A and B are shown apart, each in its own frame.
Chain A
Amino acid sequence: MRISKSLYLLFITIILAVYYLVCGIYLNGLGNYNQESLFYIEKTKIVFEGVGNRLKVMGLTSPIIPFYATFAFNLISVTLAPVLASALGTAVLFYIIASTVVKRLVDDFYMWILLALFLFHPGIIYTACSGKGIYLILIFFFLFFLNLFKFYRSNTTFHISIASLCLVILIFCDYRFVWLTLFFLPLVLAITIHSLNLGEQESVFRLFMSFNSPSLRRKLVNKTFSLYIILFALPLVAVLCYKLLNLTHASDLNYFNESPYATWNVLVDKLSFDALSTNTNYKIPEVSLLISARVLLFCPMIIIAVFLYRESTYQMLTILTPFALIEFLHIKYDKVFVPYQYYLMFVILAYLCVILKSHTVRKPGSLKIALVICVVIQIYFGGYYLYSSSITEEQNFVNVLFRRTEDETEEDNINVAQYLSSLPGDSKVLVDDATSYPIVAFVHDIKPLIMPYEDAFLSALESPDKYVDYILVATSRNAVTGYTQLNNKYLPLMKKTNSQIDFRKVFETRDWVVYRIVPR
């Protein structure tokens, strides 16, 4: 029975993977891209086709795991690799969750619920078809919490260690999850207090008793500390080592997180900030306290999860931890909108809690009705949140998905890339991929491009006439013009320092201009 169920599951997963692949490739064909996947495509091209010092690109591109995950699909198509990875990855996410359901519950209802979410939830489709690394975040977020809940029940080192390993990967999928460790401090204390062998049952009194007895206090401190270490030593040390690698190879501890050459977030956050600060209509939903309320609306199933765990203090705290995280992120990164994946993780968490605890419900019928209602609401608000998102590319995605019209966002970049590809074979072009990675991603051959990862870049920047034939310059209308030296201020400066050269405009779009260097 179990074998046939597993096969059945595998079969559904394969169908789901095909469904995601078809959607993803179709949307890709309509020209739907996003900054993250373009960034991966560009960096992958450097790693596999570039010349010169590629170590920094290889090791310090962040987030590193979604970046590496696309490598496997490069053989099929460099441009499609992120989409292929996310489509298959989301199918894997389904398989992981579904196999957990199969192991725990005999009732197929929960599988149907899951299938409905994975087939129709616009957020899940966005995860699968966008080429972003959200699928990895969700996979390891799920595994992290699954193992934590298993640890609460089994109290074995195995589950806490696996949870820790999952957290490491989660952090390397999205660095902001490092803050999750902060909110586990009180939680770990709660777990330890619970595990002490005391007659008193009430947590507060247990804490009181533990603090007032020297031996219990020592035990409490040692165990809390050990649990904290075993759970967070790996993530924190891994981050520290990664930062040290950044320091030794890029002379900056936070290079991976703050340099536009290392991560796509820098520019996207900047754009997000611009949108926030220049927008005349203040975005009410992004007011701090409303974030949690938005989450509840986005994922009402989490209320059922909290209800199911109402009698377990630390399990309840565990569910509330992501709320604290999302509120914290909103305060810490107050200049940017909260991306979609931070809402989506609640869908996964809520479902996990439901499958772990549903067998304890006395009236499963009522629970099932509530779940169906929740799923319908979640699917509706999943689409609505994307549609009304303050992040342009999320809006773009849902527009293309529902209207199936061509997405023209990247058209300019594609045109510039086509022009650069059409240049004579031996022409060299000076390009700063901090801002122009969407163009480089579409260029057929990146060898003629001189980019910052190459040693020659700085020399070429100083005396372009000696190294390159063309320069790609950001226009003043380009939103990220301040993030590159190759902008409209560069040319007058060059002309001033070197009177022997002149620049002739050969190709122009709204954001970019290609200049040919000509001797005066």
Chain B
Amino acid sequence: MRKSIPEILVEDGFITKGDRDEIEQQSAKTGISFIKIALSFGYISRKNYERSLINVGYNYAPIREEEFDPEVLSKIDIHFAHDRVAMPLRIQDGKVITIMANPDDELFVDFIRFTYDLEPEIIIASDLDIIWLSHKLLGEKEIKSAVFELLKRDPDSSAIVTFTTPQLVFIFVLLAIVTIGLVVSFKNTSITINVLISSFFLVAIIFKLFLALVGSRFELHQAVTREELKLVDDNELPIYTILLPVYKEDKLIKKLIWNLQAIDYPKHQLDIKLLIEEDDDKTLNAVRNLDFPAVFDVIVVPFHMPKTKPKACNYGLHFSRGKYLTIYDAEDIPDTDQLKKVVTLFGKLPEEYVCVQSALNYFNRNENFLTRMFTLEYSYWFDYMLPGLDTLDIPIPLGGTSNHFKLAELVDLGAWDPFNVTEDADLGVRAYAKNHKIAIINSTTYEEANNEPFNWIRQRSRWIKGYMQSYLVHMRNPVALWKRIGWKGFLGFSFFIGATPVTFLVYPLLLAIFICYVVFDLSTIRSLFPDWVLFMSIFNLMVGNILMIYVNMMAVFKRRYYELILFAIANPIYWLMHSISAYKGLYQLIVKPFYWEKTNHGLSKVNNPTNIVK
């Protein structure tokens, strides 16, 4: 009698008997096939599994080009195929041609027999190829849902339309008024514009300083204390989904596994989904070639425009099993106790809290000027600004990763907008508008700071474009927004999301005028603007810059990055880089609003700490 695959694996020494029992228990409990659990929960590497199969005479067949019959496919659900790592393709010679990763899967064989009333003809294939093919062929409904669900349910919140007609009318009317003003009275119009812009600049920065001060007041506040964490019972922890959207991140897969393995959470309660795009063979092959066990479930996102991270995440949602869900980037190193802390915090918070945002910071902060500036910026953003917003009950623009959701509520909200390139910030405001709340937690995820200027500008241009998109989306009906989120929320949203791109856009103009005035002493500027306007503008610009530098300086204290404090002085230069990105973002907003500027990761030469335990 032929031995079963689990027995072979035990015999080959790749898993222990204890492992086998554990896997079988899990399989019975979740309905996921034995081999999927073995390959996705860190029991066996794909290479070893292939070795065992070869030893008993099985060879992987290339299946990507196999013919398929839509009629046959229509009788199987993607979830079932995904969980069993198997799918029927067509009927040939009175048999159902079936691809399987584990030929012993009796449940699936029985499914074929009962569904098609025929015997299966099994082709053994790599689980990754089966997943790739199953999602490509069966995932159409889910991918359509990932792209269009929000648009169908809540079209006003979708960024598929960048500028609405009233917004275009407003913009062009404003431009016309300014042009007419300049023609009729150049001097007065220039004065008005100058005063408005420079005052706006100052107010926006003072608002940031105010937020940072409010946030800094609570810098010692621990949302979840060590003592509370000690009381957590591992047996009562819910299933936690981690979505890992990646695109061409082949170099980071090994690091990713090390980081995920360090997370302090029961293995079987973790539901980690690696979301790989259909055309991303690089990452898929990197997973295939791992010579140690993976700890994630691969999901292949079928091709569909727009090719954005939120679309991939929305797709991943269809396969998520957790009560809670979070997103990490491939290079992220979360604090090991982060998930437990979040579960504890959700347990403490009232029902209306649907999301918890962790702080983000960088592990390669001392690599170069850019990484230092980036660290300063993130430190004040996550350590001071967001707690400030939280305290004042103003909508929090979520960070790109490490935001933890209640899965059911996230789905209820319509999940992420695939047409928005800062879907996280947009979701924060959308959640707030629907009377949900977001909390901040005392846990940090360390990321890789962008250390290359052009890569930095690409990333930043996407963020700023996304802020513009989000602002346009939510300001389609300002009165309704005001009513929904209140005056505080409205002003906070306008100054935080709306003002950010505007300040970056006007900053170089103000700086240029200032330099012309001070350095070149241009008489035209003096004759154009009356003294009080010049005084006010210079005051605004100088005070604005000083305060912004100061806010950056504050950032070093909580994290004790004292060595970075002087770099805050370079903030005006850093802002100029923001301005370049803002103009790029503005250009893209007009010509290709959904284009996702990919940030290259893995450029850092700094070895990230393998495990950060607090």
Interface of A with B (CB < 8 Å)?
53-55, 58-59, 154-158, 160-162, 164, 219, 222-223, 225-226, 229-230, 233-234, 237-238, 241, 245, 248
Contact = CB atoms under 8 A, between A and B. Distances in A.
B531 A55 contact: yes
18 contacts: A53-B531, A55-B531, A55-B532, A58-B532, A156-B219, A156-B220, A157-B384, A157-B557, A158-B216, A158-B217, A161-B213, A164-B550, A222-B562, A222-B563, A234-B550, A237-B549, A241-B546, A245-B542
A164 B546 CA distance: 13
A238 B547 CA distance: 10
Nearest to B214: A158
Interface in B553-574: 553-554, 556-558, 560, 562-563, 565-566
A58 B550 CA distance: 26
B542 A233 contact: no
Contacts of A155: 220
B234 to A, nearest CB: 32
B534 interface: yes
B531 A225 contact: no
B217 A54 contact: no
B520 interface: no
Given A58-B532, A223-B562, A238-B546, A230 B554 contact: yes
A466 B542 CA distance: 42
A154 B557 CA distance: 13
A226 B556 CA distance: 8
Contact of A162 (B213, B556, B558, B560): B213
Contacts of B550: 161, 164, 233-234
B114 interface: no
A442 to B, nearest CB: 26
A50 B424 CA distance: 55
B361 to A, nearest CB: 16
Contacts of B384: 157
B554 A157 contact: yes
B41 to A, nearest CB: 41
A230 B553 contact: yes
B538 interface: yes
Contacts of A245: 538, 542
B189 to A, nearest CB: 21
A156 B542 CA distance: 27
A237 B531 CA distance: 23
B518 A248 contact: yes
Contacts of B566: 229
Contacts of A156: 216-217, 219-220
A53 B558 CA distance: 47
Given A157-B557, A157-B558, A230-B553, A225 B219 contact: no
Contact of A241 (B542, B556, B563): B542
Contacts of A161: 213, 216, 550, 554
Contacts of B558: 157
Given A54-B531, A154-B220, A161-B554, A237 B213 contact: no
Contacts of A229: 553, 565-566
Contacts of A55: 531-532, 534-535
Interface of B: 213, 216-217, 219-220, 384, 518, 531-532, 534-535, 538-539, 542, 546, 549-550, 553-554, 556-558, 560, 562-563, 565-566
Nearest to A55: B531
A58 B531 CA distance: 9
- In order of increasing CB-CB distance, the 9 nearest A-B pairs are A55-B531, A222-B562, A158-B216, A226-B562, A158-B217, A157-B216, A157-B557, A226-B565, A59-B535
Given A157-B216, A223-B560, 6 more contacts: A55-B532, A55-B534, A55-B535, A154-B220, A158-B213, A241-B542
Nearest to A245: B538
Nearest to A52: B531
A230 B557 contact: yes
A456 B546 CA distance: 37
A233 B550 CA distance: 8
Nearest to A164: B550
A230 B568 CA distance: 11
Q: Which of B217, B532, B557 has the most CB of A within 10 A?
A: B557
A378 to B, nearest CB: 34
Given A158-B213, A226-B556, A234 B546 contact: yes
Contacts of B217: 156, 158
Contacts of B557: 157, 160, 226, 230
Contact of B219 (A157, A222, A234): A157
A113 to B, nearest CB: 29
Contacts of A53: 531
Nearest to B530: A55
A92 B308 CA distance: 56
Nearest to B566: A229
Nearest to B517: A248
B513 to A, nearest CB: 14
A367 B490 CA distance: 51
Contacts of B565: 225-226, 229-230
A164 B562 CA distance: 17
A245 to B, nearest CB: 7
Given A55-B535, A157-B554, A245-B538, A237 B546 contact: yes
A225 B562 contact: yes
A55 B219 CA distance: 42
A154 B221 CA distance: 11
Contacts of B220: 154-156
Nearest to A222: B562
Contacts of A158: 213, 216-217, 219
B47 to A, nearest CB: 44
A143 to B, nearest CB: 13
B275 to A, nearest CB: 38
Nearest to B565: A226
A161 B531 CA distance: 32
A54 B535 CA distance: 11
B535 A58 contact: yes
A423 B104 CA distance: 115
Contacts of B532: 54-55, 58
Contacts of A164: 550
A58 B565 CA distance: 34
Contacts of A59: 535, 539
A473 B384 CA distance: 60
Nearest to A59: B535
A53 B549 CA distance: 32
A318 to B, nearest CB: 19
Contacts of B538: 245
A188 to B, nearest CB: 13
Nearest to B518: A248
A71 to B, nearest CB: 13
B156 to A, nearest CB: 39
A166 to B, nearest CB: 12
B359 to A, nearest CB: 15
Contact of B553 (A154, A223, A233, A241): A233
B537 to A, nearest CB: 12
Q: Which of A54, A158, A160 has the most CB of B within 10 A?
A: A158
Contacts of A225: 562, 565
A6 B556 CA distance: 37
B595 to A, nearest CB: 39
Contacts of A154: 220
B266 to A, nearest CB: 34
Contacts of B219: 156-158
Contacts of A219: 562
